[in-house]
Amino acid sequence: MLYFQKTFSLRGTHDAIIVAVFEGHEPFVAELKQLDETLNGHLSTLVKQKQLKTEAGKITEFYTFGLIEVKWVLAVGLGKRSVASADTLRAGFAAVGERVKEKRMTNVAVVLPSFVSERVSEQEVARLFGESFTMGYSTIDDYKERTNLVDKSLDSVTVFHGHRPIETSVREGITYGNGSVYAERLMSIPRTLLSPTELVTEAQALASRHGFDMETLGQKEMEKLGMGGLLAASGPAENATMLVLKNKGKREEQEAIGLVGAGGNGIFSPWMGGAAAVLGAMDIIGSLHSQKNVLAILPIVEQEHGQQNPAPGDVIRSYSGKTIEADHIEAIGALLLADGITYAKELGVHSLVTVAPLAEELRSILGDEITAAVTNDKSWWKKMQEASLKTGEPIWALPYYRPYTKRLQEESVADLRLTIGRFANCMATALFVGEFAENDPWVHLDIAGTVARARGVMARTLATFVLNNGERELR
C-alpha cells in the first residue's frame, strides 16, 4: 500500500525511514531538522564526524535507540547537492530498494524533500523514487537453493512530500519500474521454460490484462505467406511464431508506431532481449492507458542445440521478396527483424523501431552501459535520444553509412548479403535491417552490449518514446 502525507510525522511504526544526505555542510531541510532534534542531534553529529556515507549511491543505516517508533534510519548519499542529477537519484533509490529487500523490511517511509537537488525537482524526485525503488526492490525468480527463512514482503510505503501533489508522479514511476522488471523477468526465464509456444501464452496474458488486440501467426500460416527470413532461422523443436499486439488509440486515423523486437533461443544470447524489451514497453503503455496507436511485432523462433539454420551461403527469400545471402549467421536475428518489419508495413505501420541483440562486438566498442543505434531519420533519432535521456538508458548513434549499404547489395549473389566481411558488422547488420524499412523513418537499437548487464534494458525508453512522441512530424 502507498500512503502520501504532506505533514512530516515520526509517530508511525515504520521499520525504517529513508532520507538523503549530501556532501559538505548542506543545511537540513525542515523534515531532517525535525528528525535530528528528535534524535537528540544524532544525525548532525554523524555528519560532523563524517560517519555518514555521502558518496552517491552509498547507504548508512543507524539505529534510533528507541527515541522514535521508527527502528532504523537509512541515509542515502547523493554527493554534492549542486551536481546531484536524475542518474544520481536513480542509483540511490535502487540501492535503498535493494537494502530494504535484503533487510526484509515490511513498512518503510521516505522523506522526498530531502532528495531534492538543484537539478532535480520534487516532482521528478517522486517519479524517480517510484521507478528506481521498484526496480531495486524487485525479486527475479532464480533457481538457486532456497533458505528456510519465512518470506516477507513490503506491505506499505509512506511518502512524505512537500505541498505540491506528487502521487501521480510516484505511481507513474512505479509503472515504469514494473515494466522494466517484467522485461527482466522474461529475460531470466531459462530457454527450456519459455519456448515460443509458452511465450504466446505470456503475451496472451499481457494482452488480456491491458485490452490489447492480439494476432498469432504459426508455422503453417507463415509458410503460406512466404516469411522466408523467419522460417529459415527456425528449428524443428518448436514452431516459429509471429506475435502482434495492438494498442488502439481513440483516433483510427492517428499514425501507429511499430515496435519490432526479435527473440529466439539458440540464435543469439541473451535470446529474449528484443522481444522482452518490447513486451515490457507494452506493459507500461497499457498500464498508463495510453491512447497512442502502437503495434508490437514479435518474430520468435527456437533452434535445437547445435543446429545451424540457415547454413553459411544459403540464399533465402524474405517476406518482402528480397533475397538474402546468409553469410553472418551470428546475426541471424536480423532475418527475424526483416520479416517483422515487412509484416508491420503490411499492417499499415510506417514509423518503426527495431530492437534486438545482434552484434556481440559492441561490448568492445561501447561497453555494457550504452546501447548502439542506427537510424535513417534525424528527427526520429532526436526523439529516441530525448526518450533515452529521460530514462537514463544511454544510446549512441553509429553512422548510417550508405557506402556500406551498397556493399550489402553489390557483394552478393542475392539482393542483400547479411555481412560485409569481418569489419563494421555492428553497422552493417543494422543497415541490413534498415533496407527493409526502406524510406519509412526507422531506428534500430542493438542491445547486444547492454542486455546482459541490464536485462530489462530499453523497455522504459521505448515506452517513453511512444508516449511522448506519438505522432511524427510530417516531412
Residue 236: the pLDDT is 58
Residue 33 · residue 89 · CB < 8 Å: no
State the average pLDDT over residues 325-329. 78
Residue 267 · residue 329 · CB < 8 Å: no
Residue 475: the pLDDT is 29
Predicted confidence band at 85 (pLDDT cuts at 50, 70, 90)? very high
Question: Could you tell me the CA-to-CA distances from 126 to 22, 27, 89, 378, 458 in Å, in that order?
Answer: 18, 21, 10, 32, 21
Model confidence at 237: pLDDT above 70: no
* DSSP string for residues in 358-401: --TTHHHHHTTT-EEEEES-HHHHHHHHHHHHHHT--EEEPP--
State the average pLDDT over residues 111-139. 95
| E-only strand ranges, 71-220 | 72-77, 107-111, 156-160, 213-217
- When the pLDDT of each residue in the chain is averaged and rounded to a whole number, the result is 88
172-213 confidence digits (pLDDT tens): 999 999 999 999 999 888 777 787 888 889 999 999 999 999
| Residue burial 427-436, b: 16+ Cβ < 10 Å; e: rest | bbbbbbbbbb
AA identity, residue 457:
V
Give the residue among 277, 201, 205 at the shortest CA–CA distance from 238.
201
Model confidence at 162: pLDDT above 50: yes
Rounded CA-CA distance 451/47 in Å is: 39
Give the residue among 243, 270, 311, 258 at the shortest CA–CA distance from 183.
270
State the average pLDDT over residues 366-394. 95
The count of other CB atoms within 10 Å of the CB of residue 396 is: 13
Give the residue among 93, 211, 109 at the shortest CA–CA distance from 158.
109
Residue 261 · residue 355 · CB < 8 Å: yes
SS3 state at 257:
strand
Give the residue among 439, 426, 432, 430 at the shortest CA–CA distance from 412.
432
